[in-house]
């Protein structure tokens, strides 16, 4: 018996099995959708609580006059940010290049907003006459809350600026 020589590769037909698609778009897409959904649920509830609950009005008396406006603007910005993250998650799951751009916008804006919140909290601590436990809660917001809130935006910027990821996302459109 003679063995047949291997068949010559045919033009236009790839050799071997197709490449396995990356898993990271699914992971990042789902995480973004979950976080965005939490933002879209919790932000309005938080705003409604501070706006309409009677006890909250008593607590709010220790804050500067502009605090109420700040919380309303923060809620609107929070919903807008959640919508950006939701769009980023969905388009990343669909392997669309706009998902990368939206994640980068969300990351950059999230970092800037966190820095702005530190300034606002510091101004509030300096200007408001609040009792010890409330003051400790605000300091905790700076020391714990801000860094925790910046983990995902910083991760997204680092992840999506990597050249390997940029190249893979650029290939999605082809």
163 falls within a domain: yes
Question: Is 17 a member of any domain?
Answer: no
Q: 3-state DSSP call for residue 17?
A: coil
pLDDT at 136 (0 to 100): 84
Q: Is 4 a domain residue?
A: no
The predicted model gives 27-46 an average pLDDT of: 96
- Band the pLDDT of 124: cuts 50, 70, 90: confident
User: Does 59 fall in a domain?
Assistant: yes
Domain around 90: 25-172
pLDDT at 100 > cutoff 80:
yes
Please indicate, yes or no, if residue 9 is contained in any of the structural domains.
Answer: no
Q: What is the pTM of this model?
A: 0.81
Per the structure, the count of domains in the chain is: 1
Overall average pLDDT of the 133-137 stretch = 80
Does 2 reside within a domain? Answer: no
């Amino acid at each position: 018996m003679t063995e047949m020589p291997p068949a010559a590769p045919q033009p236009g037909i790839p050799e071997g099995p197709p490449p396995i698609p990356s898993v990271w778009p699914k992971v990042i897409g789902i995480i973004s959708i979950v976080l965005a959904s939490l933002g879209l649920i919790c932000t309005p509830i938080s705003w409604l609580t501070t706006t309409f609950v009677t006890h909250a009005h008593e607590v709010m008396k220790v804050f500067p006059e502009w605090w109420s406006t700040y919380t309303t603007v923060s809620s609107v910005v929070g919903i807008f940010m959640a919508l950006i993250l939701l769009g980023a998650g969905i388009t990343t799951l669909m392997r669309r290049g706009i998902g990368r751009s939206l994640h980068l916008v969300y990351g950059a804006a999230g970092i800037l907003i966190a820095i702005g919140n530190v300034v606002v909290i510091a101004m509030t601590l300096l200007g408001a006459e609040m009792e010890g436990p409330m003051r400790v809660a605000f300091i905790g917001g700076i020391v714990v809350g801000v860094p925790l809130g910046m983990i995902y935006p910083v991760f997204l910027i680092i992840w999506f600026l990597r050249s390997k990821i940029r190249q893979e996302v650029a290939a999605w459109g082809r």
